């Protein structure tokens, strides 16, 4: 890839249990910052909140990045939003390239649904999920830590089983053509280097915040907040410098949500 440090080295594997678990094994053997694992298939892929993420051979992007940051571990949770922004930017670049090539469509925006983010890190095309991100902080046994960032992008899947048919999207299905997986991978990690560099310079999401909010499908929408010991409805706003979502409850209180899951009414069938 035409990147500065991400994917140096890149390890490509035919089949793994999980790209995140594979990165952990490489990390325990001393793998360096920027090591990228890419698999054609995973048999026990992990999603957020213990969900599974599976994919058939040769259709999608299944990849995980090893980071060995020098900043305090309590900032690592913000890397989820950093990665979502990078994916959003990268997919928008691919979308723009396709739009320039696409003919015979009067409504370009309608033909090629824009890339959006459902807080904190689901990447959508329209109202369907096209990319999942799982960030894990791991202790290294020597008083330090490392971070594993897993990214799964539905690129050329044409059919989804069962209920996923109504919830999942792929670049191919939504944009009407097969998409080069190598190009998608390169764009995402090029943008990650840029967004991550800004995050390192600022120490938080303060400068990146406005751009993220402009991509946020939750903003201004009615949401149902589910978290341990508390559920409530409200209107989602933007994020603060640490990536917490501001929600105005029905009694007018502004609550910063940093745990649990926010469900957006109308997005992939949530009530």
**CB 215, CB 87: distance < 8 Å:** no
Task: Find the length of the chain.
Answer: 271
pTM over 0.75: yes
CB atoms within 10 A of CB 246: 16
Average pLDDT over residues 70-80: 96
- Count of C-beta atoms within a 10 Å radius of residue 195: 24
Q: Is the pLDDT of residue 213 over 60?
A: yes
**Which token pair is 68?**
């060995």
- Give the number of other Cβ atoms within 10 Å of residue 227's Cβ: 13
Q: What is the pLDDT of residues 219-244, one digit of tens each?
A: 999 999 887 777 889 999 999 999 99
| 157-189 confidence digits (pLDDT tens) | 998 888 888 889 999 999 989 999 999 999 999
Question: Could you give the 3-state DSSP secondary structure of residue 126?
Answer: coil
Of 77, 64, 78, nearest to 35 by C-alpha is: 64
pLDDT at position 45 is: 66
pLDDT recorded at residue 76: 96
Tell me if residue 150 falls in helix, strand or coil.
Answer: strand
- The residues, any chain, with a CB within 8 Å of residue 96's CB and separated by 6 or more, are none
pLDDT reported for residue 53: 53
Contact by Cβ (8 Å): 53, 25: no
**What is the mean pLDDT of the segment spanning 10-32?**
96
The Cα–Cα gap between 181 and 131 comes to 13
User: Tens digits of per-residue pLDDT, 114-149?
Assistant: 999 999 999 999 889 999 999 999 998 888 999 999
Pair 68, 165: CB distance under 8 Å:
no
The distance in angstroms from the start CA to the end CA of the chain is 42
**10-16 vs 36-42, strand pairing mode:** parallel
Asked whether the predicted pLDDT for residue 61 surpasses 70, the reply is yes
Residue 255 predicted with pLDDT over 90:
yes
225's enclosing H/E stretch is: strand 222-227
- pLDDT score recorded for residue 54: 57
8 A C-beta contact, residue 120 and residue 84: yes
Whether pLDDT at 270 is above 60? no
- pLDDT, position 142: 82
Mean pLDDT of all residues in 109-116: 78
Instruction: Specify whether the CB–CB gap between 241 and 203 falls below 8 A.
Output: no
Q: Is the pLDDT of residue 57 over 90?
A: no
Please say whether the beta carbons of 81 and 54 come within 8 A: no
User: 248, exposed or middle or buried, with CB in 10 Å at 0-12, 13-18, 19+?
Assistant: middle
Mean pLDDT of 39-67: 76
């Amino acid at each position: 890839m035409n990147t500065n440090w991400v994917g140096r080295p890149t390890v490509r594997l035919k089949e793994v249990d999980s790209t995140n678990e594979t990165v952990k094994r490489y990390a325990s053997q001393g793998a360096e910052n920027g090591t990228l694992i890419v698999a054609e298939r995973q048999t026990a892929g992990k999603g957020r909140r213990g969900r599974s993420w599976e994919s058939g051979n040769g259709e999608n992007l299944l990849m995980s990045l090893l980071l060995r940051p020098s900043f305090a571990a309590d900032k690592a949770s913000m890397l989820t939003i950093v990665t979502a922004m990078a994916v959003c930017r990268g997919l928008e670049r691919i979308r723009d390239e396709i739009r320039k090539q696409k003919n015979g469509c009067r409504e370009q925006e309608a033909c090629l649904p824009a890339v959006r983010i459902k807080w904190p890190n689901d990447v959508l095309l329209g109202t369907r999920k096209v990319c999942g991100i799982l960030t894990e902080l791991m202790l290294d046994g020597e008083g330090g830590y490392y971070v594993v960032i897993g990214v799964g992008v539905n690129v050329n899947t044409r059919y989804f089983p069962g209920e996923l048919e109504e919830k999942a999207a792929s670049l191919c299905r939504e944009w009407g053509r097969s998409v080069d997986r190598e190009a998608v991978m390169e764009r995402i990690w090029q943008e990650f280097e840029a967004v991550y560099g800004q995050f390192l310079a600022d120490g938080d999401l303060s400068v990146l915040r406005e751009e993220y909010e402009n991509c946020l499908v939750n903003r201004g929408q009615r949401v149902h907040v589910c978290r341990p010991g508390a559920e409530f409805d409200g209107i989602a706003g933007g994020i603060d410098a640490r990536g917490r979502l501001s929600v105005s409850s029905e009694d007018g209180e502004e609550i910063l949500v940093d745990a649990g899951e926010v469900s957006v009414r109308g997005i992939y069938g949530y009530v």
